[in-house]
């Protein structure tokens, strides 16, 4: 019998309300969600349904107002800012729409800098960066800067950077939003293969149906709630 897999994400009744133009906006309305190690979960739903807010809560980039929220064993509701910083440094890899690559850094350095922040030495960080870039099919692009990379290649660098240090969870917000259909399929296949080979847990927010093809689980959201 297979051993039960550890719970990486546990949310119960999670809420988040913003104020916009003086009026409250309920971005999350009592979200319940559990994700175990090794799952690949896609959050689907229309714009404004709460997908991005939920990802930000999971990554410690935003705080929920209420409920129970635990990620990689860290109680997000009780965590201080230092705890949240360590969560992102040690346990969570992040790919966000606004998380642009450094314009003057090579692909190798984009990934190595992430490893340096985790305490790895420079020589070891560069070697590990090369390994991760090879994993995502960019062995021949390690010295290229973002301007010399295609949109798909830039997303592969961002994925390699998110995987740096072996996080327990990778969150990605619309990782194929700026890509054409063929490049999107390649990115979907790469994420699925990385999930299988490394056993890393992924939570991906998207409204692109191509990302929902062949994944382990699709979670549908609407009006700040998980509806299916």
How high is the pLDDT of residue 175?
A: 87
Element (H, E) at 34: strand 23-36
| Positions of the chain with pLDDT under 50 | none
How high is the pLDDT of residue 98?
A: 62
What does the alpha-carbon distance between residue 113 and residue 164 come to, in Å, rounded to a whole number? 9
Is the separation of the CB atoms in 58 and 74 below 8 Å? no
How high is the pLDDT of residue 165?
A: 93
How high is the pLDDT of residue 185?
A: 85
How high is the pLDDT of residue 96?
A: 81
Structure token digits, residue 199: 């056993």
How high is the pLDDT of residue 214?
A: 62
How high is the pLDDT of residue 80?
A: 95
Is the separation of the CB atoms in 136 and 195 below 8 Å? no
Helix 107-117 and helix 151-163, axial crossing angle in degrees, nearest 10: 20
């Amino acid at each position: 019998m297979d051993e039960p897999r550890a719970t990486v994400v546990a949310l119960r009744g999670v809420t988040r309300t913003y104020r916009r133009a003086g009026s409250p906006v309920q971005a999350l309305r009592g979200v319940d969600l559990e994700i175990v190690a090794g799952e690949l979960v896609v959050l689907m739903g229309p714009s404004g349904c709460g997908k991005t807010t939920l990802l930000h809560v999971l990554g410690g980039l935003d705080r929920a107002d209420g409920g129970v929220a635990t990620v990689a064993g860290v109680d997000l509701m009780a965590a201080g800012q230092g705890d949240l910083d360590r969560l992102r440094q040690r346990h969570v890899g992040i790919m966000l729409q606004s998380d642009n690559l450094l314009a003057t850094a090579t692909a190798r350095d984009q990934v190595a800098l992430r490893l340096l922040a985790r305490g790895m030495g420079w020589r070891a960080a560069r070697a590990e960066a090369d390994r991760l870039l090879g994993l995502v099919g960019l062995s021949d692009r390690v010295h290229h800067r973002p301007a010399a990379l295609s949109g798909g290649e830039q997303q592969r660098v961002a994925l390699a950077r998110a995987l740096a240090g072996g996080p327990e969870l990778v969150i990605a917000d619309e990782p194929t939003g700026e890509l054409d259909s063929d490049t999107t399929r390649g990115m979907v296949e790469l994420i699925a293969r990385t999930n299988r080979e490394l056993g890393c847990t992924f939570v991906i927010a998207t409204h692109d149906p191509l990302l929902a093809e062949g994944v382990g689980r699709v979670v549908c959201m609407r009006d700040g709630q998980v509806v299916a």
